[in-house]
C-alpha cells in the first residue's frame, strides 16, 4: 500500500504543479488575477503533494480536498453564476441539460476514490495497531 501512497503523492504533486504553473502564467496565458480560487486550489494541491511524499496525514486530506473541488463544473446557458475550477489534468464527462452544462472530471473522481481508499486503509491499520 505504501507504493500506492507514493504514486498518489507524485501524481498529486505533478498535477498541482502543472496547475500552479498555468495559474501563475508560467505555461501559457496567465489566469485572471481575480480568480483567487484557482490559485488557492493549485497551491493547496502542491502543498498537499509535498506533505504526502513525507507521509503526513494532512497531505492525503489536502489531496482529497484538491480533487473534490475539481469534481464538477457547472456552466449555465445564458446568464447566471458559473462554477468551474480547472486546476490540473481534466478528463471530463459532459452532461448537457436544458438550462446548463455539467462537466464531471473523471480523472479527479478516480484519484479522489484512490485517496479516500488510502485514508480508509491507514485509519483501519492505525486502529488495529492500538
- pLDDT mean over 39-55: 90
Domain of residue 122: give its range.
2-129
118 exposure class (CB count in 10 Å sphere: 0-12, 13-18, 19+): buried
- Residue 38, pLDDT score: 81
Tell me what the pLDDT averaged over the chain comes to: 84
Coil, strand or helix at 66: helix
Q: Does residue 39 have a pLDDT over 60?
A: yes
Whole-number CA gyration radius for the chain: 16
- pLDDT mean over 42-60: 90
- Residue 34, pLDDT score: 52
- Residue 10, pLDDT score: 93
- Residue 31, pLDDT score: 58
- Residue 49, pLDDT score: 92
- pLDDT mean over 92-104: 89
The total number of structural domains that make up the chain: 1
Amino acid at each position: 500500500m505504501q507504493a500506492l501512497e507514493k504514486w498518489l503523492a507524485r501524481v498529486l504533486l505533478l498535477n498541482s504543479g502543472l496547475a500552479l504553473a498555468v495559474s501563475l502564467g508560467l505555461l501559457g496565458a496567465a489566469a485572471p488575477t481575480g480568480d483567487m480560487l484557482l490559485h488557492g486550489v493549485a497551491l493547496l494541491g502542491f502543498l498537499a503533494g509535498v506533505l504526502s511524499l513525507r507521509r503526513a496525514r494532512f497531505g492525503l486530506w489536502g489531496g482529497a480536498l484538491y480533487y473534490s473541488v475539481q469534481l464538477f463544473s457547472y456552466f449555465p446557458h445564458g446568464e447566471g453564476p458559473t462554477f468551474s475550477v480547472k486546476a490540473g489534468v481534466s478528463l471530463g464527462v459532459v452532461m448537457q441539460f436544458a438550462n446548463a452544462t455539467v462537466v464531471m472530471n473523471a480523472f479527479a473522481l478516480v484519484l479522489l476514490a484512490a485517496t479516500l481508499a488510502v485514508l480508509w486503509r491507514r485509519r483501519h491499520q492505525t486502529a488495529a495497531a492500538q
